[in-house]
Copies of this chain bind each other. A is one copy, B any other.
Amino acid sequence: MPPRQQRRRSYDQYCASARALDAVGDRWTLLVVRELLGGPRRYTDLHADLPGVSTDVLAARLKDMEAQGLAIRRRLPPPGAATVYELTPRGVGLLPVLTALAEWGAPDLTERRPTDAVRAHWFALPLLNRLPAPKVPSVVEVVLDEGVFHLRLGGERLGYGDGPAEEPDVRLVLDSDTCRELGEGVLGVDEAVTAGRITLSGEGPYAAALRGS
């Protein structure tokens, strides 16, 4: 039979929000975007950090996102030849959508269910709009028990990445509960530092700003 390219189900509404949901409203799509916002990823790593998604659905979503110009498939040069998926600028433009979702969903994190999976970089999104803006672009490395991630603040490449930063201006060592309260906005960085819930290291101006105010 011909591989009849079944037209994706659309809301068929002349409305900006409906158009956006046509593109990213499918199950798992925005969570794939959340993963790729942390940098290029291989298929297997995506599958590992999205527990519950089946292999065929993940493949289908990546294909859809590629067809819509949200992500590209790129083959890394040897050595370490592997294919990675990376967001296009259009895909990166979804960052405000995910931060808005994260801000709204943050109160639901008070309940931590035993079935919940956890990854360190999932804490990055709520922090992006809660940390004070630095005067110069700064990189913050965040160390949790669950892993390490980093934030890029104040520059034009606002965003986050999985794993340690190359040259962090500030390093924060804290537990995930403190990190959650920071992301929820019920706790300030300075409060957490003076309360001894954050071990802050770094000598630059942004480190001083986080300590001071």
A interface, CB within 8 angstroms of B = 11-23, 25, 27, 30-31, 34, 51-52, 93-94, 96-106, 108-109, 112-113, 115-119, 122, 125-126, 183
Residue pair A30, B17 in contact (C-beta under 8 Å): yes
Which residue of B14, B31, B96, B125 is within 8 Å of A104 (Cβ)? B96
**Secondary structure dominating the interface of A:** helix
Q: Is A16 a contact partner of B117 (Cβ separation < 8 A)? A: no
CA distance A102 to B18 in the complex (A): 8
**Which residue in B99, B108, B113, B116 is a CB contact (below 8 Å) of A23?**
B108
Knowing A21-B30, A25-B27, A97-B100, the reply to whether A14 touches B105 (Cβ < 8 A) is: no
Report how far A93 CA is from B185 CA in the complex, Å. 15
Residues of B within 8 A of A106 (CB): 16, 19
Residue among A17, A18, A27, A117 with the highest chain B CB neighbour number at 10 A: A17
Known: A23-B108, A27-B25. Is A103-B16 also a contact (CB below 8 A)? yes
Does A105 contact B16, Cβ atoms closer than 8 Å?
yes
Given the known interface contacts A31-B17, A34-B17, the answer about A11 and B102 at a Cβ–Cβ threshold of 8 Å is no
A183 to B17, CA, bound (A): 12
Question: How far, in whole Å, are A30 and B16 apart by their CA atoms in the complex?
Answer: 12
User: 7 smallest A-B Cβ distances: which pairs?
Assistant: A20-B105, A15-B122, A19-B108, A16-B102, A19-B105, A14-B116, A20-B101
What residues on B are CB-neighbors of A21 within 8 Å? 30-31, 101, 105
- Select from chain B the residue with minimum beta-carbon distance to A20: B105
CB distance from A200 to the nearest CB of B (A): 23
A-B contact pairs, 21 of them (CB 8 A): A11-B31, A12-B115, A13-B117, A13-B118, A15-B125, A16-B108, A16-B126, A17-B30, A17-B98, A17-B122, A17-B125, A19-B108, A19-B109, A21-B31, A23-B105, A25-B27, A96-B104, A97-B97, A97-B100, A97-B104, A100-B100
What is the distance, in angstroms, from A50's C-beta to the closest C-beta of chain B? Answer: 8
Q: Using A11-B52, A30-B21, A100-B100 as known contacts, say yes or no to A16 and B109 having CB atoms under 8 A apart.
A: yes
